[in-house]
Amino acid sequence: MKFFNEVFFKSTTIFGFLLLPIMYGCSKDNVVASSPEQELSQEALAKCLPNNSKKNYAIKVAKEFLKSECVMQTNAAWGQTGNIVNAFPVYLDGVDDVSYYECKVQNGGTDAGFILVNINQTDVPIPQYTIEGKTPSEDFAKESGISVENLQVFRHNWFEMLAEKKTSIGLGNGVPVITRGFDEYGEFKKGKSIDRNRLLKIRTEFKHRVQQAEGTNPLYLKTSIRQLHAKDSLISESLKSNPTGLLKAAYSDRWTSDELNNTFSSGWHLPKWYQVKNATNMISGCGPLGVTMMYAYHRQFNGKTNLFNGLDLNPLSGLSGCGQQPVKDITFSIGADCGADYGSSSTSTSLNGLENGGELYGDRLGYDVHLDQDLGGDFTKGKTALDHIRSERPCGFAFDSDKNGSTDHFATIEGVKYLERKYVWNWYNREMWYLTNYGWYNSGNGKREWICVDAQYGSDTYEYKNTGNLYMMWR
């Protein structure tokens, strides 16, 4: 049996940068004259040098970020096939420690942007990313003619950065070799041509603001940054395998679920019916059978007694039910209304045919039936289906039951459950599941089970592609 449906293509606009929300404004600037900086101690110098364990930690977080909700929503292909191939240290100007790593992404050997990871709680966990090109450190190296290893890169914000040439002990010598940012006229500039005095003033002002913000990026409040690092799921996920010496972060999961309230004598919410053949050896088809089972629930439990000639369906709710003549006749009548293409080995209908023709059986008996089709996103369809289940309206859906890439079956939904995970303050979709009545004989036992119809972080081994839902309403 085949079930055919139209194919819909989605297009997504991809943004080059994700700017995580700015929770609070920075404190008011009160610029004071700076005194000459003192030479750092050997202990402070060692702290400034890149650290392999921190670099590995940043790469681990970046790999988790590639699988995250925000990446999947903007460019799933980048997240699924991108690889972290290197990471370069970046400093927050005014903090004597490596504050970030630019985690370089490649896709199929081609440069595909970077993910900036904060490692010392001086900024939000992922301040910035882009899905194309090289890292800023690599750009600085190319523009200055100095290798990445010999540059020390400082960051102020998404647009304003500078690089100094390292000395033999790894610290900048205080002489910037390249910069990018806005000039006094508000124009964006980058390159080697630097007004030294103006740059010194900008750095002095920024370092003072960092000091006022208690050693964090002055765009945010320190408490907000700490809270993000404590709760952000990207951090918690990356620490599962190696939490030693790092803050264990928290996240929250929640399940929402419900099933139809009533059950037939067979123990299922809908009958254990399956496809049968008529006198001319034609098979009834899964679509018409699914609509018939939806009608059966309304006949038995929702007061639509004109359906099925008023017949009590409980004795016919087991596997033999569809073999009974009244049920068989109604199934084939609905199939004819829906324009089913009958065959001896399979019968095909379209979701449009079921929507437009499936109403006629109820309408002929004096009811005003309305079948509505939903081809939206899996979680949108699923949450709408849950509303119908809670209103005692079983649903149907078309899906790829054998996972060969094409829609081949229409089944009914007896229950819905979905999982959400809280990242910081927001809840995000994780998995959507249907309690599915297949309408299959299945070696004498029927088939009904929970199946995953969307798993944002799940596995194809248990996820079935859902192409459209069908809801039956009464007016």
What angle separates helix 52-66 from helix 69-81, to the nearest 10 degrees? 100
Query: CB of 412 within 8 A of CB of 294?
Result: yes
Residues 341 and 456 in one domain: yes
CA dist 380 and 441 (Å) reads 31
180 and 70 both lie in a single domain = yes
pLDDT in tens, 82-104: 899 999 999 998 888 899 999 99
Per the DSSP assignment, residues forming a β-bridge with 106 are 83, 111
Q: What is the pLDDT of residues 164-177, one digit of tens each?
A: 887 655 555 667 78
Amino acid letter, residue 199: L
Pairing of strands 395-399, 252-259: unpaired
In this structure, is residue 14 part of a structural domain? no
Same domain as 242, residue 339: no
Q: How many domains does the chain have?
A: 2
Cα–Cα distance, 328 to 289 (Å, whole number): 9
Helix H or strand E encompassing 202: helix 196-212
pLDDT tens track for 219-244: 778 887 787 776 554 444 444 433 33
Domain stop point among 222, 249, 276: 249
398 half-sphere exposure, CB direction, 13 A CA radius: 29
Cα first-last separation, the chain? 32
Buried b / exposed e over 132-168, threshold 16 CB at 10 Å, is: eebbbbbbbbebbebebeebbbbbbeeebbbbbbbee
Average pLDDT over residues 207-220: 87
More confident residue, 431 or 28: 431
- CATH number of domain containing 309: 3.90.70.50
Q: What's the average model confidence in pLDDT over 436-462?
A: 83
Residue 421 CA to its chain's centroid (Å)? 11
Question: pLDDT digits over 274-327, tens only?
Answer: 988 888 888 999 999 999 999 999 999 999 999 999 999 999 999 877 778 889
Provide the token pair at 338: 């829906």
pLDDT digits (tens, 9 = 90+) for 379-405: 899 999 999 999 999 999 999 998 888
Answer yes or no: do 223 and 292 share one domain: no
Structure tokens at 399: 């899906």
pLDDT tens figures, 120-150 = 889 888 888 888 899 999 999 988 888 898 8
Question: Of the segments 123-132, 198-207, 226-235, 363-372, which one has the largest average pLDDT value?
Answer: 363-372
Instruction: Give the residue numbers spanning the domain of 387.
Output: 257-474
Instruction: Answer yes or no: do 430 and 287 share one domain.
Output: yes
- Whether residue 277 is found in the same domain as residue 389: yes
pTM over 0.75: no
- Residue 16 inside a domain? The answer is no
Are 137 and 179 in the same domain?
A: yes
**Cα separation of 145 and 143, whole Å?**
6
CA gap 310, 365 in Å, rounded: 11
Q: Looking at the structure, do residues 404 and 428 belong to the same domain, yes or no?
A: yes
pLDDT tens per residue, range 446-458: 999 999 998 766 6
The per-residue pLDDT for 144 is 85
Domain identity same for 224 and 293: no
Q: State the pLDDT at residue 11.
A: 25
Residue 22 inside a domain? The answer is: no
